Amino acid sequence: MTDARVHPATADALSSSSAATSTKDSGEYPVPPNPLPAKPVPPPATYVVQIPREQILRYPPPENARKFEALTRRGKSGRSCCRRCCCFTISALALLVIAAAISAGVLYLVFRFKLPKYAVSSLAIKGMNLTTAAPISPEFDVTVRAENPNGKVGIYYLQGSEINVFYEDVKLSNGVWPAFYQPKKNVTEMRPALTGSGVILGGTVKESLRNQQSQGNIPFVVRAKVPVKIKVGSVKTWKITVKAKCDVAVDGLSDKARIVSNDCDYSVRLW
């Protein structure tokens, strides 16, 4: 009598073989499984790596220790040289200032040095045409009175001077101070010729000049900058700069103009 029971494994194998046979018979193949997705590539970025403070190197490695010491000594020596140069320069300037102050004090105490005095005694004007629109060439014949009130000091007026005449902020003419020697207790009058060319007067400046001319009071400014040397006995000082500023008002714009007011300030620069 034959056993009709079938083992489960045999049944599964039979079903698989039958399914494969049916698939082959139908002409279809099994679909392979989908591959796993690839891992995404992270975008490029900057990463900050933090190192514990106790692991930071405070000293150079042994192979660079000698080089580090040499560079350190070189930097210290360079800084010390700079300090010495700065100290020397400051000391030299301080000594010069002290020497100049002492010299000025000696001049004042021993010789009772007094500043020279300056004044504008006459001012003749030519070429100040206010009716033309073209540039003008004004001329100023200035008479300057220079007084040396010192009894033991002479003054050498050197080359390299300049004199300028202004109306408000407009420079009208310029010239030079003559070079000469002024002895003690002396008064000298000089007549430097001051000329200008290509001077353009704006409408506002012309209107102001006309109004002041009708009033008989036209203000000008005369500025002088003159290098001098002081002579004490047989000794001459270094070059000293004398600056003078005179506010001069005249009654007209002609060569017959008269001075109605005159005020001069002057100063001396020792170096």
* Contact assessment for residue 160 and residue 233, using Cβ atoms and an 8 Å cutoff: no
Tally of CB atoms within 10 A around 177 = 23
Instruction: Give me the residue spans of the domains in the chain.
Output: 68-111, 117-269
pLDDT of residue 2: 47
Could you list the beta-strand ranges (E) of the chain: 117-126, 139-148, 153-157, 162-167, 170-175, 180-182, 186-190, 193-195, 218-232, 235-236, 240-250, 259-269
- Cα 229 to Cα 184: distance, rounded to the nearest angstrom: 13
pTM of the model: 0.61
Burial of 165 (0-12, 13-18, 19+ CB in 10 A): buried
Q: What is the pLDDT along the chain (271 residues), one digit of tens a residue?
A: 444 454 444 445 444 444 444 444 444 555 555 555 566 665 665 666 666 665 555 555 665 656 666 666 655 555 566 777 788 788 888 887 787 777 666 666 555 678 889 999 999 999 999 999 899 999 999 999 999 999 888 999 999 999 999 999 999 999 999 999 999 999 999 999 899 999 999 999 999 999 999 999 999 999 999 999 999 888 888 899 999 999 999 999 999 999 999 999 988 877 6
pLDDT of residue 149: 92
pLDDT of residue 269: 79
- Cα 113 to Cα 184: distance, rounded to the nearest angstrom: 11
Residues 6+ apart with CB under 8 A from 72: none
* Contact assessment for residue 147 and residue 187, using Cβ atoms and an 8 Å cutoff: yes
pLDDT of residue 148: 94
